[in-house]
Chains A and B, each alone.
Chain A
């Protein structure tokens, strides 16, 4: 049995930036079973059609999981989630409008959990004023700096494209390394928010890899603003290549997610052994969202057929060459 750690997505951002709209959008757009934790119900209004039952201390969601509060602390909320309803595939924590998302993200280090991403919402019309407000300038800047994925929401309310470009450049400076994405009504593609393959209408995966080596599986656009590229791998990759890929990511990459086999750097002695690399290969989950990158060992389920080894990338349209990912996975090129 494989025991995968439960991914945690933190949604932060100042009051009115669209956090609740985003949470509703996520619940509506994926078949992933997501449990939601909020600071208190006073701040959330999950759409009624997504709720099947409401108790004094929890809501039961249409996906079978629950939405509960931090009333009695995170440990209690986690116990509540594990004992009620369907076991979730992801935790979504909506931070309060003044919370430091970094502090909420610390819960993602609880054993059994894995912090996936800190998504911070910004109100395109208000964020400049808020970031210079007498009372909350430091709070808003702290939140923006905590983002892995910074969603510039309500972008449609800006008069022209130049303003939007200026704003996004300025926000990119404040958020130091976050992937900056634009949205209206918090409608960020689910693959961008939760990782490739998370949308309920996920791209067709029936196409099986055939060729040996590194093969580009193509690329396609994701809801106008983004495009993705996927590389299917039928041989292990040297770890240094993976590390180099993550170490120096260009701007414009929103997400990378891959399940692949990696081998440690070959020493001179091992190099003569043809099978050594194969034997030492371990399964890894490789992820990047904004500046957060990780390579974690992946426990494989031996009772199941081996997974498809592949890596996907989502980037802003036009930011990367269509074969960027493939070219960066080529050994010694």
Chain B
């Protein structure tokens, strides 16, 4: 006999009850449960096994009995190249797990980098193929600079290119320099030279890196492949994420890139939902008003796994690159020859006019603002646009929000804006921010989750992967502990508690991409998206938050076990 309950599911299958060590719902009205029931792709309910069983015909699946179930983690700021870069060899300073779950230990010395490259070269069968690597961060090798001469000792005649972690530099070997005709006659300011006055293999900024020709173009193209999109999703699943926001890396007006996303997310086994932002970056062929229209149209065609409706804008550069716009007294110890402040990537006077068409189309604008001058300009623009076209609940979001000041947070609260705070910076570059970029006082109030919370601004936290590794347990750990890589606490007064950090990586992230009605908490009727954890984030030592194992995820009711295969 068909019960009324079975109709609640789209299939006629009995619903499944997953008893767990604990279900953390992030629903303040019903914070914890013993089990969660899933009907089709939705949550039927949360509570005790008995309570859930009373809904009708069911099956009990005990596999998570020892696990803790949370809402699937939601990353509101990362990029699809996070998957594409794994086409190349990782030589970064920190340990990093690839989308297959393999742990790549950090290369903490120049010798480590060379050893990694030697092995990668030895594993290559085609002699003509270029060896591509990524993630090098010379900031951690203050003594000696890794240059072509070092690379030559392990790569021989094989052309080799390493993209730095910053994305602003590349180092190539002599074989690639020969192939590209880079020699002592080079006049480009992007070709760095050693003490002997000869090019040393380092190429600076786009004008320098483009001299590496096809090798560089190939590396960038890999970011648009189908494989890159799969790896992006797999990485999410391995870290407990069920939604990724590709914030401004896809050219949505390019039919190929759009259909590629549709194809990949249309595969029932693809392990994540993806919110793809509209962006005027990277060569939009249309005016903002047309892009807004396109985004509205895409939104009407969206699926459960491929979402639209947000827009990425960008105002300034990065703090560690000394290109973020920071108010007086600007940078603490900038490199010699620095012009004093960072760079605008969009003209401040243009900002309100740029926000307006998206705002009027009902979309949510997410603007990259690392420095406090950038956040001020964006807040001003939102205020102007709201005066022209009042609109409630826009949720326009300051992205990165690294140096946003308390007065700016108060304005954001008043204007209904959200913040997405780059908490991972505290760990990865916090020491450099304190000692070099902005100095101790301002470093202590960077990535100010505590101020956001006290000001009543809805905030999430993010990795900006591939800039730092994807993984919300680590990102939450950063916001909670504010520990730098050297083990010092940076700004203890901006630390937040674990419960607030858990909200930031779930419901608050869902809120700023306007998906909080569907995901972000475990409540009857929402999509069955879970992070399945080996331990309880609310009971472990907060310092151990990032060490909690991830079984995998449940995505729309489908089990997505993580892949792990330690080297």
Task: List residues of A whose CB falls within 8 A of some B CB.
Answer: 14-15, 39-42, 56-57, 69-76, 78-79, 97-98, 100, 103-104, 106-107, 109-111, 135-136, 138-139, 142
CB distance from B477 to the nearest CB of A (A): 36
Given A107-B210, A109-B186, 7 new contacts (CB under 8 A): A42-B288, A73-B217, A106-B208, A109-B190, A110-B210, A136-B347, A136-B348
- Interface members, chain B 248-266 (any A CB < 8 Å): 251, 253-254
Query: 26 A-B pairs, CB-CB below 8 angstroms?
Result: A14-B347, A39-B283, A40-B283, A41-B283, A42-B286, A42-B287, A56-B253, A56-B254, A57-B254, A57-B283, A69-B285, A71-B283, A73-B210, A74-B206, A75-B213, A98-B343, A103-B205, A104-B207, A106-B188, A106-B207, A110-B188, A135-B344, A135-B348, A135-B349, A136-B344, A139-B343
In the complex, chain A residues whose CB is within 8 Å of the CB of B217? 72-73, 75-76, 79
Which residue of B is nearest A39, CB measured? B283
With known contacts A106-B208, A110-B211, A142-B339, A42–B284 Cβ distance under 8 A: yes
Chain B residue contacts of A142, Cβ below 8 A: 339
Cβ B282 vs Cβ A97 within 8 A? no
Chain A residues within 8 Å of B345, by CB: 98
* A41 CB contact (under 8 Å) in B208, B285, B343: B285
User: Is A109 within 8 A of B187, CB to CB?
Assistant: yes
Which residues of B lie under 8 Å from residue A76 when comparing CB positions?
217
Give, as a whole number of angstroms, the nearest-CB distance from B216 to chain A. 6
* Cβ–Cβ contact B344 & A42, under 8 A: no
The distance from the CB of B455 to the nearest CB of chain A, in whole angstroms, is 24
B346 at the interface (CB under 8 A from A): yes
The number of residues on chain B lying at the interface, defined by a beta carbon within 8 Å of a beta carbon of chain A, is 42
Chain B residues contacting A75 (CB-CB under 8 Å) are: 210, 213, 216-217
* Inter-chain contacts of B346 with A (CB < 8 A): 98
Q: Does B3 contact A (CB under 8 A)?
A: no
Chain A minimum-CB-distance residue to B287: A42
Residue B341 CB within 8 A of the other chain: yes
- Interchain CB contact under 8 A, B285 and A56: yes
Whether A135 and B377, one on each chain, are in contact in the complex, defined by CB atoms closer than 8 angstroms, is yes
Residues of B within 8 A of A103 (CB): 205, 207
Q: Is B181 an interface residue (CB 8 A)?
A: yes
In the assembled complex, the Cα of A71 lies from the Cα of B285 at a distance in Å of 10
B210 to A71, Cβ gap below 8 A?
Answer: no
Contact pick for B205, options A14, A78, A106, CB 8 Å = A106
B251 touches A71 (CB 8 A): yes
Query: CA A142 – CA B344 in complex, angstroms?
Result: 12
Give the CA-CA distance A76 to B345 in the complex, in Å. Answer: 21
In the docked arrangement, what's the CA distance between A108 and B283, Å? 20
Interface residues of B in 189-235 (CB under 8 A from A): 189-190, 205-208, 210-211, 213, 216-217, 220
- What's the least CB distance linking A130 to chain B, in Å? 9
Q: Does B373 contact A (CB under 8 A)?
A: yes
Contact A73 B206 (CB under 8 A): yes
Whether A138 contacts B341 in the complex (CB less than 8 A), given A40-B283, A70-B283, comes out as yes
Asked if residues A97 and B210 are in contact (CB atoms below 8 Å), the reply is no
A68 to B1, CA, bound (A): 65
The CA of A41 and the CA of B186, in the complex, are separated in Å by 31
Judged by a CB distance under 8 angstroms, whether B466 is at the interface is no
Q: A42-B288, A75-B216, A97-B347 are in contact. Are A106 and B283 (CB under 8 A)?
A: no
Tell me if A136 and B349 are in contact (CB < 8 A): yes
